[in-house]
Amino acid sequence: MGDTIQIGDVAGQVRRIGIRSTTVQTAVGAEVIVPNASLVAEKVTNWTLSSRVRRIDVPVGVAYGTPPEKVLELLRGVAAAHPDMHEAAMSALDRRHSAPPSRLEYSTSPPGAVLDPDPIT
């Protein structure tokens, strides 16, 4: 229990495993009851099976005309202030060059850019 899984369009943390069903709590707080037969028959992605550390993407919108260097400086500051942010994530923070020319996107998408969502103590 506690693993973060995805099955079909349901993603969340396993909260209860019963004889007939498993309860998965989504990021928005909904509890979805998944029949155990589905867990056996369908593809299940376990995001935290071997490690509690995983990457998350946080979209950030900024006003047009905002200097990209200022945005990166602010995002790096926020990341550095988070106690569970890994150093690799902060150094990987960069502007996405695949974004359409009409907008700027920033990401910590490269491998190694991770956050421990539920640190094990």
Give residue limits of the domains in the chain.
Answer: 4-46, 51-121
The residue with greater pLDDT, 53 or 117, is 53
Is it the case that residue 110 has pLDDT exceeding 50?
Answer: no
In the CATH scheme, what architecture does the domain 4-46 have? Roll (2.30)
The residue with greater pLDDT, 66 or 115, is 66
* pLDDT for the residue numbered 89: 63
Long-range CB pairs of 53-57 (<8 Å, 24+ gap) are: 53/86, 53/114, 53/115, 53/116, 54/4, 54/114, 54/115, 54/117, 55/89, 55/108, 55/109, 55/111, 55/113, 55/114, 55/115, 56/115, 56/117, 57/107, 57/108, 57/109
Predicted confidence (pLDDT) per residue in 81-97, tens digit:
877 776 666 666 665 55
Q: What is the C-alpha separation between 91 and 39, in angstroms, rounded? A: 38
* pLDDT for the residue numbered 121: 36
Predicted confidence (pLDDT) per residue in 8-36, tens digit:
999 999 999 999 999 999 989 999 999 99
Residues 62-86, mean pLDDT to the nearest whole number: 80
